[in-house]
Structure 1
Amino acid sequence: MDTGRFAYPIVSAIFIFLIFSQAEAYDTLDPTGNITIKWDILSWTADGYVATVTMNNYQMYRHIMSPGWTLGWTWAKKEVIWSMVGAQATDQGDCSKFKGNIPHCCKRTPTVVDLLPGVPYNQQIANCCKGGVVSSWGQDPSAAVSSFQLSVGLSSTSNKTVRLPKNFTLHGPGPGYTCSAAKIVPNSVFLSSDGRRKTQALMTWNVTCTYSQMLASKNPTCCVSFSSFYNSTIVPCPSCACGCKNTNSCVTSDSNILDVVGINTPTANNAPLLQCTQHMCPIRVHWHVKTNYMEYWRVKITITNFNYLSNYSQWTLVAQHPNLNNVTQVFSFVYQPLIPYRSINDTGMFYGIKFFNDVLMEDGPDGNVQSELILQKDANTFTFKEGWAFPRTVLFNGDECIMPPPDTYPFLPNSAHARTIVLSTLAAFVHFILLAFW
């Protein structure tokens, strides 16, 4: 019996599985993106140390939205948290063996959350108390950080004997992050407020957490639909793109459940409460090729929220298209090209304008945001043929959206209608010129 014939497909299958399982946590559009958690020991105490924990979000377009991050770990020995500033443990645990001074948390596996805005000043430190909301690095680097301070007891009291915590977990706010083991790194250096004096931590260790969409959700969380001015067909999101409709997974717009007080308040454990659709996605992105000018073309983007439970604050939309290197104007959204990791700059990030449309409301009349963009044509590559005008990849809040099959994209009409397209293009161009000089 030739066992080689059977072994080869098995080995190949295992090899392919390993590649794709690793690739799922590797984002080709943001390959260096991660959340780095840094522990800086600032001083030693009688039975432990005081440390500042800083969470830096180095992901270009993936942020942590309400209800915020949750950080956990396992103590190496029998450490306790005497006190915290800027955050709190969700469970104190069994502290019955202590008399008089009771620790803030006695659990061997503490779970910590950020404090809410507005707490008393003596409970705050810099970069704390934002309800766990952390911006993406590409959106706002100054807000892509969160910090807290803790006093640890029943621990070693020198950098030669202290034991590093292990088994770090990060939810932001749901699952999806995998964290490395803590690693000792060069001590952090700090500058005084006047910039004239340097100090350094007594000991520093880092933990790196990376995101996997496959770990975050068994189903995709967004889909894309298409339409164009040159074809009356609207290409919808694929059916069951984010799961299939059943009586337990969605509600109709006239359901009585929508009248329940507090139904729209987000929590970390809430499953989406979706409007019944054929795609069953919380988010739909619609890309409409709107107008053809002589040297430019115009696209309208609409993002619709079908989730009755969640507002999407500080949302981000990433699109990959070869003509994004020639964006001329963007209306209603902020646009930022992403640092290219390929030979061409074909990827950009869109997000809302603060206090205007940076919050995508839950399903309902206000549950959508829209923008239009004008792009200059590249004479060597521009065409409306074969779906070229539609994006190659779309991500919402860092998760890749399901696209329609390429053979369903709106197609150009046949030559009998060519004169109509030319006339409509000329009329649109004249209209554009008139608006420009009005």
Structure 2
Amino acid sequence: MMISKAHCLAVAFVFLATLQHADAGYDPIDPEGNITIKWDVVEWTGDGYRAIVTMSNWQLYRHIQAPGWIMGWTWATKKEVIWNMVGAETREQGDCSKFTGNLPHCCKRTPEVIDLLPGVPYNQQTANCCRGGVLSSYMQDPKTSVASFQVIVGNTGNKNTTIKLPQNFTIMTPGPGYTCSSAKVVPKTKFLSPSGRRITEAFMTWTVKCSYTEQLAHKAATCCVSFSAFYNETIVPCEKCACDCPTNNTTPIITTNGADTNNQRCINRFDPHLPLTLNSTKNNNLQQQPDMLYCTNDMCPVKIHWHIKLNYQEYWRVKITITNRDISRNYTLWNLVARHPNFKNFTESFSFSYKPLTAYGPTNDTAIFWGVKYYNDMLMQAGPSGNVQSEILFRKDSAFTLANGWGFPSHVLFNGDHCVLPHADHYPTLPSSSSTLRAATTTIALLVLFAVALLI
């Protein structure tokens, strides 16, 4: 059968389109997951409007951790200003030299808005504000998966009914990863009064949807998985260079002010300059900062270890350990997603919170774990407090086996990003039973011969 050039081109086009779709943020575990930004215009002013802006995280397991979200956009008419904000603030005021008297809060054409920190005065707060930009995933805590603020916009240059919508929305966390749609006018939001007896509605409402793409957020993996089991002394480590490869020179050069002059990717944990290096990594601003890792063969900021610990008559037990190797970062409200066929018979988690991810599809084979509040919900920097662990218990079913690596997960994600698993041919194997089987067969044969001899 001859295949034409046109047919080949068509197949290639479909393949490329599939890749583009895969890179566009589609997640088979959470296909409807997104962050939705909603603007509700609730009041007209002399030169613009007052709006309530709400950011809702509808992602089941992906969240925004400290130092928090940054929301940006571009004003449509190039003249708009922000007169005032409640519940948030812009990072820069911009050039407001054209104004006299009371200056606007922000005059930039491309403002960047950040959340306020906890503990600000009450008159600067709105509902769902002031958590330092931390936004929980919907599964972990729906109440803290929403953020909101109020903004008074002026110089709109339009009549109230013909507002030109802001453009080019972005969400930084603080790095990249989210791609936002254009603003779209939707049916007006209805509000219920505090008494619950009166309904009002916004003058105008528009929404923006932002989806996450792991490839945009990270050029390489950020976590890896190692395996072990009670029936094999071998510990299968993370794959070599799973996230990156260590440099040959692992000793950073530290200046008198604590700066690393040669920008090494990792440091030796026994390096005498380590205290200076730790001080140099402290960064309280919202800029994306490079990871400062202990040197390892896999160079992953986070390692997850899955250990098959015990095998009971009706149950089997696994121990999960999550280790932070990044001395420059804490992981706030971390979560772990794992896929294994026996999650449909999951019984108990001893020190992690747990929920099944069964929103899509009939198969209950995926679970999300996260830390218990005020106990292990923050994974601290690398060091003595840089790990959390729990044991989980499964009830056996007819599919249970310890052969061929069945007891290990097929997918693991940390904070929404896929972790590198060991190659399947490296999994811990069961002890060889061939000699035992041969001995048992020989014994049975001798017993049969002995019985036959008695009958003769």
Q: Is the 8 A contact 1:230 1:412 kept in 2?
A: yes
| 1:251 matches 2:267 | yes
Question: Following the alignment from structure 1 to structure 2, what is the Cα–Cα distance between the partners of residues 387 and 240?
Answer: 23
| 1:250-279 deviation line (CA, Å, top 9, x unaligned) | 111023143353634465321110110000
Distance 1:296 1:264, change over 3 A: farther
| 1:144 matches 2:163 | no
- The one-letter amino acid paired with 1:279 is D
| 1:74 matches 2:96 | no
Offset at residue 173 of structure 1 (A): 2.5
Question: Following the alignment from structure 2 to structure 1, what is the Cα–Cα distance between the partners of residues 11 and 275?
Answer: 50
2:416 counterpart residue number: 398
Q: Is the 8 A contact 1:92 1:107 kept in 2?
A: yes
- The one-letter amino acid paired with 1:271 is P
TM-score (norm 2): 0.88
Secondary structure of the structure 2 residue equivalent to 1:351: strand
Question: Following the alignment from structure 1 to structure 2, what is the Cα–Cα distance between the partners of residues 186 and 39?
Answer: 11
Offset at residue 3 of structure 1 (A): 11
Match runs of 1:97-112 below 5 Å: 97-112=98-113
Question: Following the alignment from structure 2 to structure 1, what is the Cα–Cα distance between the partners of residues 427 and 204?
Answer: 57
| 1:168 matches 2:185 | no
| 1:361-387 deviation line (CA, Å, top 9, x unaligned) | 1111111000001100112x1111111
Secondary structure of the structure 1 residue equivalent to 2:162: coil
Between 220-229 and 243-252, the greater mean CA deviation after superposition = 243-252
Offset at residue 50 of structure 1 (A): 0.3
Question: Following the alignment from structure 2 to structure 1, what is the Cα–Cα distance between the partners of residues 360 and 389?
Answer: 28
Question: Following the alignment from structure 1 to structure 2, what is the Cα–Cα distance between the partners of residues 175 and 257?
Answer: 29
Q: Is the 8 A contact 1:44 1:157 kept in 2?
A: no
Larger Rg: 2
2:15 counterpart residue number: 16
TM-score (norm 1): 0.91
Number of aligned residues: 416
Secondary structure of the structure 2 residue equivalent to 1:60: coil
Secondary structure of the structure 1 residue equivalent to 2:304: strand
Question: Following the alignment from structure 1 to structure 2, what is the Cα–Cα distance between the partners of residues 273 and 11?
Answer: 46
Between 26-35 and 260-269, the greater mean CA deviation after superposition = 260-269
Distance 1:392 1:417, change over 3 A: farther
Distance 1:275 1:8, change over 3 A: farther
Between 86-95 and 41-50, the greater mean CA deviation after superposition = 86-95
Q: Percent identity?
A: 56
Secondary structure of the structure 2 residue equivalent to 1:304: strand
Question: Following the alignment from structure 2 to structure 1, what is the Cα–Cα distance between the partners of residues 220 and 436?
Answer: 42
Cα RMSD of the aligned pairs, angstroms, is 1.8
Between 391-400 and 405-414, the greater mean CA deviation after superposition = 405-414
Secondary structure of the structure 2 residue equivalent to 1:160: helix
2:258 counterpart residue number: none
Offset at residue 158 of structure 1 (A): 4.7
Secondary structure of the structure 2 residue equivalent to 1:43: strand
- The one-letter amino acid paired with 1:403 is L
1:431 counterpart residue number: none
* Segments ≥4 residues shifted beyond 6 Å: none
1:385 counterpart residue number: 403
| 1:222-270 deviation line (CA, Å, top 9, x unaligned) | 1111110111111111111101111421111023143353634465321
Question: Following the alignment from structure 1 to structure 2, what is the Cα–Cα distance between the partners of residues 360 and 213?
Answer: 21
Which consecutive unaligned segments of at least 5 residues does structure 2 have?
Answer: 250-263, 438-456
- The one-letter amino acid paired with 1:258 is P
Q: Is the 8 A contact 1:159 1:202 kept in 2?
A: no
Question: Following the alignment from structure 1 to structure 2, what is the Cα–Cα distance between the partners of residues 367 and 335?
Answer: 21
Offset at residue 284 of structure 1 (A): 0.6
Question: Following the alignment from structure 1 to structure 2, what is the Cα–Cα distance between the partners of residues 185 and 216?
Answer: 29
| 1:407 matches 2:408 | no
Q: Is the 8 A contact 1:283 1:305 kept in 2?
A: yes
Secondary structure of the structure 2 residue equivalent to 1:261: helix
Secondary structure of the structure 2 residue equivalent to 1:18: helix
- The one-letter amino acid paired with 1:310 is R
Secondary structure of the structure 2 residue equivalent to 1:56: strand
Offset at residue 159 of structure 1 (A): 4.9
Question: Following the alignment from structure 1 to structure 2, what is the Cα–Cα distance between the partners of residues 257 and 414?
Answer: 46
2:315 counterpart residue number: 296
Question: Following the alignment from structure 2 to structure 1, what is the Cα–Cα distance between the partners of residues 340 and 65?
Answer: 27
